[in-house]
Amino acid sequence: MSLEIKALHAQIPGREILKGLNLTINPGEVHAIMGPNGSGKSTLSKVLCGHDDYEVTSGEVLLDGENILDMAVDARSRAGLFLAFQYPHEIPGVSNANFLRAALKARLPKGEDIDAVRFYKQLYARMDQLEMDRSFTSRSVNEGFSGGEKKRNEILQLMMLEPKYAILDETDSGLDIDALKIVSRGVNAMRSENRGFLVITHYQRLLNYIQPDIVHVLKDGRIVKTGGKELSLELEERGYDWVTDESLATAA
């Protein structure tokens, strides 16, 4: 049981972005990926979820042993993969509650519906954890939300959908310190031995609140260094330039 990324190559027309990326996330682990701008962090999250702007040219992604690269975006989601978006989309006219109900219903056998009473009970409990006002249930998804509210809403969806593997793409961007604490508290509440996390971030700040087990440095489409929590502190202090590609060094 794990999310295994093996020698993954992916490109947009004319440019390869992921160049043989290897990474294994076991349930119960929190991995952080750090890296300079343009290293391929956001591309990785979208490729894993099946965004069709990117073409996978070789490699495998196994979710608990099943290759998900041939699966459609929605099937990957239902298989247990969740992405907290860096820029969550607005869905005019669709209330948050209806959206979540539709997403939960999509996980049930055809013709079955969710129990509305239990749904709202759980929704309100999760919203309380994220200090979200109840009015957010009836507001259109992300429409007119502040940056921080959008990120909280992403974590709310994570909490309701309870995925096996969650990717957080720059969830800290645009958050003030109070919002960052609330969002992190939500994520930490979801940490469990049955769930793996991949936290993508540019800054070490987030990792003070969501403590990673393993930290990777992504550079030019590859993981070039892996270490413990202390690696993120070192990156914060020294930047990315000093990191050389260990895999290349070994090969040489």
Partner 1 sequence: MVTAPDNDISDIKVDNVGDFTFPERNKYDSGFGITDKTVDFIADVKNDPDWIREFRHKALKIFQDKPMPTHWATKDLENIKFDEFRYYLSDGQKPKRSWDDVPEDVKKTFDRLGIPEQERKFLAGVEAQYDSEAAYSNIKAAVEEQGVIFVNSTEGLHKHPEIFRKWFGKVIPTGDNKFSALNSAVFSGGSFIYVPPGVKVKHPLQAYFRINSEQFGQFERTLIIADEGAEVMYMEGCTAPKFETATLHSAVVELVAMKGAKIQYVTVQNWSSNVFNLVTKRGIAHEDAEVRWIDCNIGSRLTMKYPGVIMKGKRARGEVISIALANSGQHQDTGAKMVHAADDTTSNVISKSISIGQGRSTYRGLVHIPKHLKGCKNNTECDALLINSNSHTDTYPAISVRGNQHSTQHEASVSQVSADQIFYLMQRGLTEAEAMSLSVNGFINDLAKEFPMEYSVELKRLIDLEMEGSVG
Q: Which residues bind partner 1 (CB under 8 A)?
A: 49, 51-52, 72-74, 77-78, 82-83, 85, 88-94, 98-99, 102-103, 106-107, 140, 157, 161
Is the Cα dihedral 150, 151, 155, 158 positive or negative? positive
Find where tokens 């992504």 sit. 218
Q: How many angstroms separate the CA atoms of 137 and 154, rounded?
A: 13
Query: Are 191 and 158 within 8 A, CB to CB?
Result: no
Nearer to partner 1 by C-beta: 102 or 125? 102
N-term to C-term CA, the chain: 33
Nearer to partner 1 by C-beta: 48 or 217? 48
In whole angstroms, the minimum distance from the beta carbon of 163 to partner 1 comes to 10
Nearer to partner 1 by C-beta: 29 or 154? 154
In whole angstroms, the minimum distance from the beta carbon of 146 to partner 1 comes to 18
Nearer to partner 1 by C-beta: 77 or 232? 77
In whole angstroms, the minimum distance from the beta carbon of 70 to partner 1 comes to 15
Nearer to partner 1 by C-beta: 2 or 98? 98
In whole angstroms, the minimum distance from the beta carbon of 81 to partner 1 comes to 8
Half-sphere exposure of 19 (CA within 13 A, CB side): 15
In whole angstroms, the minimum distance from the beta carbon of 106 to partner 1 comes to 4
Starting at the earlier edge strand, list the strands of the sheet with 30-34: 81-84, 165-169, 196-201, 30-34, 214-219, 222-227
